[in-house]
Amino acid sequence: MLNTLKCSVRLIVIAKVLAKHGALFFFESLRITNFAVQMIKTTKTQKFMLSKGKRLANALIELGPSFIKLGQALSTRSDLLGSDVAEDLAMLHDELPPFSGDDAVKIIEKEFSRPIDALFSEFNKTPHAAASIAQVHFAKTLDGKEVAVKILRPQIENKFKKDLRLFYWVAKATEKLQPSSRRLKPVEMVKTFEHTTMLEMDFRFEGAAISEMAENFYGEKYFKVPEVDWIRTSKRVLTTSRIHGISIDDSDAILKAGHDPKAIADKAATAMFKMVFEDGFFHGDLHPGNLFVDKEGNLNAVDFGIMGRVDEQTRIFLVRMLKAFLDSDYKEVANIHFKAGYVPADKSIDEFAQATRSFVEPILGKELSQISVAELLGRMFAVTANFGMQVQPQLLLLQKTMLMAEGVGRKLLPSANMWEMARPLVEDWALENMANNRVRHISKNLVDMIETFPSYIAQAEKLTRQMSEGVKIHPETINYLINKSSKSSCKKRNSAFMQALPWALIIYLAIALFKL
């Protein structure tokens, strides 16, 4: 009861901030927040020049770090907020006023139990960038290496835990009061948000992610990641080699440096599809501020706090679906969805294929500059809702990442078509890996059969030996059958025993087989 009261009061405060920025619509769709909306609404109307998504983004920034992260998570949920709002949230700038450089030094010294001078020969107390959960300072190690030092905000974990209680309360109440919302899995969404955010606030995990991606791209020059300085890395401090380059969305600077935008776009597409399909491990926050072009024209990524994984089964599903899309084979698209169990079996495959055609055909064959990703996503989610298709949480972050990749491609080369750039990569991967996957599956089954064959032989020999020695039935079972049959005539007695005996044998054999 006390938690309900606290959450209700907090919702009213949040509603005031939303109303201030013209973003009260965020609460209007949730029945649980209706009371807060009604308390804030007045007869006075105000006109706002910004789009709904940008107004919501500004409100979330004012509400603080937890809500900025929530906005980034919601940017993957066009089904909740609409494609236009989600697209604006995908570009939500994770920027907050910095905490003091003196506090940053204190955190570092506490983490390593050493004075700052024992770790760095130079440390710039003015932060290079400040985001919702951390800020970055440039420094030099004792041996003169340039590094970037990422430091967690003071007390940020406690603030997140407080806000998470509110998010869970709203999600659970929404599922209870609005049964139709269960298809969208709001509680599961909050769980995913909690898991990813807590991992993001432990910089040892980010360091491990950087190391794993470095292994995946070992020997590749077109896409680079920084080197982790593990000696100067802890839960709250991450030190990596400093990256120098031009932000990938600064097309004028890229051209001035003599780089070919198409070559860079090709490298970005290649890196993205390698991450997703070959490795199943991808950077989940590849906005332009995290991707740089070095003097050789290669890509350099930073900020590995948000990462995504795609298992092999999902990758096979995705590549088959993408290939079917690119071949305009909408019946195959429908079949793939039904076989994967994403669409209920009682729905019509032909109708799903027709609906798929309705939102895919308008974009194929067009230049990227002519394609409205927001409109495409809006149509896609309308189709999924009409066919009762459950949201797949493992694909939400990937969807957002692909949207960012398209944004990068559009900025670099407005005439490019990401679908066509992706086609040879998808087809090559499909030819090589789908066949290999079948071979691996058959080989695994064959190996399993060979490994278990001796145990089947032993079981058969043991069962044969037991049968040859006669079936042993517990005396109580025999007495029960005799006593029960004595109440009937001899004919019925014999008949009852003969009917019961096969079932007793079956039960005995079942027990014997399960115990072997």
CA dist 446 and 443 (Å) reads 5
Dist. CA 30–CA 170, nearest whole Å: 9
**What residues form DSSP beta bridges with 120?**
141
Residues 322/326/330/334 CA torsion (nearest 10 deg): 0
**CA nearest neighbour of 231 among 204, 209, 250, 251:** 204
- Rounded Cα gap, residues 182 and 480, in angstroms: 53
Which residue in the list 229, 266, 285, 303 is annotated as catalytic?
285
Q: Is 285 a catalytic residue?
A: yes
> For residues 55 and 199, what is the distance between their CA atoms, to the nearest angstrom?
29
Sign of CA dihedral 430, 403, 197, 205: positive
Q: Given CA atoms 480, 486, 490, 491 in this order, what sign does their dihedral have?
A: negative
Q: List C-alpha distances in Å: 470 to 41, 466, 473, 502.
A: 85, 6, 9, 14
CB contact set of 488 (below 8 Å; sequence gap of 6+): 496
CA distance 500 to 480: 11
Q: What span, in angstroms and rounded, lies between the C-alpha atoms of 278 and 298? A: 20
- Residue type for 186, please? P
Catalytic residues: 285
